[in-house]
């Protein structure tokens, strides 16, 4: 009972003090992971995300941590193939739900959706989506989106 009371006090303090809460970032990360598990359909702790910037756009890649984890591999493939279709229609509701806000670059990517190609491919342990464009504004928006992902997911991928 004491533990529940202590957690309740910490949550109230975080609500009252907002970003001043010493546990604020941990709460955000846990929320993003839970929303990611729900929206993507696979366990985030069993997978690794990468967001790679390229001259003409970039790549979203997700792999299983265990090459024998066929269930996660197949869930990744289903999610990424679905994402490629949704993004091509200008639908970014899934990343907006996961991150609990509009990721950087999304408004321009929606506006220039016909200028961006999304290509899904399977990889040995998951899949990837290539985002490409010949439009400089679209490429910059893709880069903003991928940088946002790199920072929010803490992947350590290069920001350039």
Query: In the chain, where are the structural domains located?
Result: 46-153
Print pLDDT tens along the chain (160 aa): 544 443 444 444 444 444 444 443 443 466 656 665 655 666 778 999 999 999 999 999 999 999 999 999 999 999 999 999 999 999 999 887 776 889 999 999 999 999 999 999 999 999 999 999 999 999 999 999 999 999 988 999 999 8
CA dihedral 108, 113, 119, 123 (to 10 degrees): 40
The total of other beta-carbon atoms located within 10 Å of residue 122's CB is 14
pTM of the predicted model as reported, rounded to 2 decimal places: 0.77
111 and 70 Cβ atoms separated by less than 8 Å: no
């Amino acid at each position: 009972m004491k533990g529940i009371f202590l957690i309740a006090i910490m949550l109230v303090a975080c609500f009252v003090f907002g970003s001043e809460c010493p546990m604020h970032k941990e709460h955000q990360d846990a929320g993003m992971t839970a929303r990611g598990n729900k929206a993507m359909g696979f366990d985030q702790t069993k997978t690794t995300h990468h967001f790679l910037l390229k001259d003409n756009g970039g790549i979203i890649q997700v792999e299983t941590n265990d090459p024998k984890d066929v269930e996660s591999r197949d869930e990744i493939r289903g999610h990424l193939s679905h994402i490629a279709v949704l993004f091509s229609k200008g639908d970014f509701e899934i990343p907006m739900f996961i991150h609990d806000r509009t990721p950087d670059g999304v408004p321009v990517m929606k506006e220039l959706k016909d200028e961006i190609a999304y290509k899904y491919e399977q990889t040995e342990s998951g899949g990837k989506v290539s985002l490409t464009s010949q439009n400089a504004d679209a490429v910059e928006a893709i880069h903003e989106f991928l940088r946002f992902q790199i920072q929010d997911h803490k992947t350590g991928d290069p920001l350039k």
